[in-house]
Amino acid sequence: MPAPAVRPARVLSGIQPTADSFHIGNHLGALREWVRMQDTHDAYYVVVDQHAITVDHDPALLRQRTLVSFAQLLAIGLDPERCTVFVQSHVPEHSQLAWVLECQTGFGEASRMTQFKDKSQKGGADRSTVGLFTYPILQAADILIYQADAVPVGEDQRQHLELTRDLASRFNTNFGDTLTVPQAMFVKETAKIVDLADPTSKMSKSSPSGCAFLLDSDAVLAKKFKSAVTDSEREIRFDPAEKPGVSNLLTMQQAITGVTMESLVAGYEGRGYGDLKADTAEVVISFIRPIRERVVELMEHPDELRRLMGHGAAKARETARHTLAAVYDAVGFVAIPGE
């Protein structure tokens, strides 16, 4: 008898289209793992445009950034035939499930989410939207609607992943086993790439001078690495706590070239920070250049991009609608024929 087919574990992850370009932190912290996992997992990857409207935004810019985000995912190596890559607003089941989950989330529980606290403190409580407040619940829905087993993310998503697990378990306790409780997956050595200009904070698009964007030109990248902040010592060693700037450069090189940290550091004996910065710039630039060139090509054919978005959305909805039907049934909504 043939062995029963085993379903490969399913993963889901998402990224916001809130910048003109992704950065090397997104890539080494998360996206690279996405590419690897399309061959080992049943993988779903989503550009979360609905999350992007939780703060002030410009509609034309959002449209452009959603297209360029999707193009970047293809350019880094996601293949629409080997994974399901799509845009959140094309799959209405996410927000339908989010409503049900909101009705399972405590007000205090949602108030404790640090990302909300940070962002609302910056903008002032009155200017923060309810959408920003419920952001993590929509994120939970993104994951749970696909019954994902695991979620590859950077460290900054830890708390949202905990909430997702809590909501799935609570739903199952209250209404019977319906949702898969997912595991968070952090890529250990690259889970946090820090800012080039301020190595005490994570690399982020909100601080462009310390951020190496995938769509930055070679010259801009070279300049950012040349001015990378290090420390007042001279020794090149991997020590993220004491030497965050130096360690960050080493981490990037190591992640891209695949050499061991030990031999990378050994190669710098007797050499200075100038060499480390120049080498890292070269490694990063050669890594990023083909991605940027591919994005430019893809953006010349927006209709083809939209066609691929449609293809991804259709695949995603096929899975999402089954989960939503099970959830609606579990909470007691009446099903009508043909739905």
Q: Phi and psi dihedrals of 153, rounded to 5?
A: -145, 170
If you count them, how many residues does the chain have? Answer: 339
Is position 15 an interface residue for ligand TYM (rule: CB under 6 A)? yes
**Please, which of residues 36-75 interact with ligand TYM by CB under 6 A?**
48, 51
Question: Smallest distance, Å, CB 74 to ligand TYM?
Answer: 16
Do the Cβ atoms of 55 and 23 come closer than 8 Å?
no
Catalytic residue among 192, 202, 243, 277: 202
Name the residue type at position 102.
E
Q: Which stretch binds ligand TYM (CB under 6 A): 21-29, 242-250, 269-277, 328-336?
A: 21-29
φ/ψ of 57, rounded to 5, equals -150, 165
Q: Is residue 202 annotated as a catalytic residue, yes or no?
A: yes
Least CB distance to ligand TYM at residue 303 (A): 26
Complex with ligand TYM: residue 109 or 329, whichever CB lies closer = 109
Binding range to ligand TYM, per CB under 6 A, among 22-30, 172-180, 232-240, 286-294? 22-30
248 binds ligand TYM (CB under 6 A): no
Contact 330, 173 (CB under 8 A): no
* Residue 119 or 329 with smaller CB distance to ligand TYM: 119
CA distance 140 to 131: 14
Total residues at the site for ligand TYM (CB under 6 A)?
25
| 97 binds ligand TYM per the rule CB under 6 A | no
HEC assignment per residue over 33-92: HHHHHCCCCEEEEEECHHHHCCCCCCHHHHHHHHHHHHHHHHHCCCCCCCCEEEEHHHCC
Say whether 224 is catalytic: no
Region near ligand TYM per CB under 6 A, out of 69-77, 124-132, 152-160, 275-283: 152-160
Q: Which of 67, 113, 149, 154 binds ligand TYM (CB under 6 A)?
A: 154
Residues forming a β-bridge with 42? 10
Q: Where are the beta strands (DSSP E) in the chain?
A: 10-15, 42-47, 84-87, 150-153, 183-186
Q: What are phi and psi for residue 88, nearest 5 degrees?
A: -55, -45
Has 188 been annotated as catalytic? no
CB 181 within 8 A of CB 165: yes
Pair 85, 70: CB distance under 8 Å: yes
Is 153 a binding residue for ligand TYM by CB under 6 A? The answer is yes
Residue 156 or 166: the one with the smaller Cβ distance to ligand TYM is 156
Catalytic site residue from 117, 122, 192, 205: 205
Burial label, 224 (beta-carbon count in 10 A; 0-12, 13-18, 19+): buried
Choosing from 10, 202, 277, 317, the residue that interacts with ligand TYM (CB under 6 A) is 202
Element (H, E) at 107: helix 107-111
Is residue 139 part of the contact set for ligand TYM (CB under 6 A)?
yes
Q: Which of 68, 83, 97, 143 binds ligand TYM (CB under 6 A)?
A: 143
Applying the rule CB under 6 A, the residues between 155 and 194 that interact with ligand TYM are 156-157, 160, 191-193
Phi and psi based region of residue 177 (left: phi greater than 0; alpha: psi -120 to 50; beta: remaining): beta
* Residues that are catalytic: 119, 202, 205
Can you give the binding site for ligand TYM, defined by CB under 6 A? Answer: 12-16, 25-26, 29-30, 48, 51, 139, 142-143, 151, 153-154, 156-157, 160, 191-193, 202-203
